A and B are shown apart, each in its own frame.
Chain A
Amino acid sequence: MQNTGLSVKNLSVFYGEKEAVKSVSLEFSPRQVTALIGPSGCGKSTFLRSLNRMNDTIGGVKTTGEIWIDGHNINDSGVDVVLLRQQIGMVWQRPNPFHKSIYENIAFGPRYHGIRSKRELDGIVEDCLRRAALWEETKDRLHKSALALSGGQQQRLCIARSIAVKPKIILMDEPASALDPVSTAKIEELISELKKEYCIIIVTHNMHQAARVSDRTAFFYMGKLIETGETDQIFTNPVEKSTDDYISGRFG
């Protein structure tokens, strides 16, 4: 059971001169799925990437504001980014398994974090693959290349890989947008399963998906957080007019 949530205060992200995220404050609770929705270019992906400081890897990005996790502001200069990222898993739009075997994809992280015993690693691999509902499909070919899996399987492998280092929070950037409907359903099922343990933040373009998987929804527009609340409330009874317009498909 994880009790770690995330608290964002006045977060702004600049690409050079351009302010991509404008002073956003938002709370994320443990064991809940929060969906970030909004039209393309509204800053939701940039916002997501600043939560594990992945924007640091791109030159010319400046971040201001505070992100609190377990009583620490991760934007402090003294924070060890490497250890921070171990606690915050990430899943990308396109499945990006390492060019290694299925087994290695999972074992890679834990081994780096100090687990050397083969027995322990075997246990982790099996456990993570089971939780990603991938064990039955892959147990006979664990040492074959992960790139031979289908797109949906690859994406579940990526989720399994991220939980293998025991994160507290999982960030997902449109995790199902490159997948077919059947694979998408499996991913959504997996998300519902994982939220029993993790704080999950998911960026999505798919309104139905947001309605299906999330507990809370935040609507972004032009870099600003327009509205946030219980998913039911946002979808049935939004306060802001632009939220209503977006959800009912009048723009975006």
Chain B
Amino acid sequence: MDQWAVKQDGNKPNLIRKPSKQHIREEWVGRVYTALCILFLIVTIIAIVYFVASRGLSTFIKNGVSIGDLLTGLKWAPEGEPALFGALPFIFGSFSTSLLAALIAAPLGCCAAIFMTQIMPGAGRRYMQPVIELLAGIPSVVYGFVGLSVIVPMLRNIFPGQGIGLAAGALVLSVMILPTITTIATDALAALPSGLKEGSFALGATRWQTIYRIVLPTTLPALLTGVVLGMSRAFGEALAVQMVIGNAPHIPRSLFESTSTLTSVITLSMGNTITGSAHNNALWSLALILLAMTFIFVFIVRFLERRNKR
């Protein structure tokens, strides 16, 4: 007992004011190490934005393409004479596939969330939750493969056309974003104070009336957050869409006609262009549009979350 008392108190009679070096060094190492890790993250994101933007903007600065032409032009012929950089078909493709996917997935996801939180919470947690997690875990190339070997032939048999196209892309994407929407909707519904529901039941409302009149309106901003996040994922998804959409560079006249998205064009052409060429730069411009859309989606989500808190 006294041996170590001497060791501690004898050597450092005034512990409060005379700090030992060990723990200060330790604290310093911890702080610097963790700060460096976070710095790495920040530098990475700045670098991504900087490099993509500098390459993407050179289409306009070096190659003299006007921003308006790129955003609204209908013809994409980067190797043609004269070279044309109309990216509207791809922008249209990206927006229409992700919007359609969200339209399909949102009601399904909300129903799944209502099932898990309001109708059968027990079975929901036991069976639905793992199902949703597994759906989220399936790699996108596998979704693309299944889309190509199941959805495309099915569409080809039922509808006119080759099966590939907008509809196939939207269907594949809708399954891919279903977990995102369901998870966020479930969290929102589960966080609802139970008093709100009980009050409605006490007034004699049925479960559906309660869900429809009380639960859904209260959680609407959170549900929308889920839908926007899902759309954001669909917008950036590359390979699964590229595999089933057909990749024709024009705006389709029907849901079952081949078209392209921003990601599918980049995926297909980036490897075949020479760095610094106008074609290559134009692809970077498409990547810049993707990046800009990511920021817009994040800010919409932030906006909705702030509304939700109020």
Contact = CB atoms under 8 A, between A and B. Distances in A.
Nearest to A73: B16
Interface stretch (A119-127, A141-149, A207-215): A119-127
Interface string A96-121: 00000000000000100111000010
Contacts of B24: 80
Contacts of A82: 19, 23, 27
Contact of A72 (B7, B8, B16, B27): B16
Contacts of B8: 113-114, 166
A127 B1 contact: yes
A115 B23 CA distance: 15
B144 to A, nearest CB: 45
A70 B4 contact: no
A69 B259 CA distance: 77
Contacts, number: 45
A110 B16 contact: no
B34 interface: no
B4 A124 contact: yes
A45 interface: no
A166 B14 CA distance: 14
Contacts of B4: 110, 115, 120, 124, 166
B253 interface: no
Interface in A57-85: 69-70, 72, 74, 78-80, 82-84
B20 interface: yes
B274 interface: no
A160 to B, nearest CB: 13
A40 B55 CA distance: 63
Contact of A120 (B3, B14, B17, B27): B3
Contact of A83 (B1, B3, B5, B16): B16
A114 B15 contact: no
A78 B16 CA distance: 9
A83 B15 contact: yes
Nearest to B1: A127
B7 A79 contact: no
Given A110-B4, A123-B1, A166 B17 contact: no
A86 interface: yes
A120 B2 CA distance: 10
B7 A69 contact: no
Give the bracket for the number of chain A residues in contact with chain B: 20 to 34
B7 A78 contact: no
A87 interface: yes
Given A113-B8, A166-B8, A69 B16 contact: yes
A72 B15 CA distance: 11
B7 A83 contact: no
| Max chain A Cβ within 10 angstroms of own Cβ: one of B4, B17, B23 | B4
Contact of B17 (A72, A110, A113, A123): A72
Given A110-B4, A120-B3, A83 B19 contact: yes
Given A113-B8, A166-B9, A84 B16 contact: yes
A110 B4 CA distance: 9
Interface string B7-39: 111000011110110111001000000000000
A106 to B, nearest CB: 13
A127 B5 CA distance: 13
B12 to A, nearest CB: 8
B151 to A, nearest CB: 50
Contacts of B27: 82
Contacts of A115: 4, 7
A151 to B, nearest CB: 28
Nearest to A87: B15
Contacts of A84: 15-16
A114 B16 contact: no
B58 to A, nearest CB: 45
A124 B1 CA distance: 6
Given A83-B19, A86-B15, A114 B1 contact: no
B31 to A, nearest CB: 13
B9 A83 contact: no
Nearest to A131: B1
A127 B20 CA distance: 26
B14 to A, nearest CB: 8
Given A82-B23, A123-B1, A114 B17 contact: no
Contacts of A87: 15-16
B16 A70 contact: yes
Given A79-B17, A123-B3, A166-B4, 4 more contacts: A70-B16, A80-B24, A113-B8, A114-B8
11 contacts: A72-B16, A79-B16, A80-B19, A110-B4, A114-B7, A114-B8, A115-B4, A115-B7, A123-B1, A166-B5, A166-B8
- The list of the 6 closest CB pairs from A to B, nearest first, reads A80-B19, A83-B15, A72-B16, A82-B23, A127-B1, A84-B16
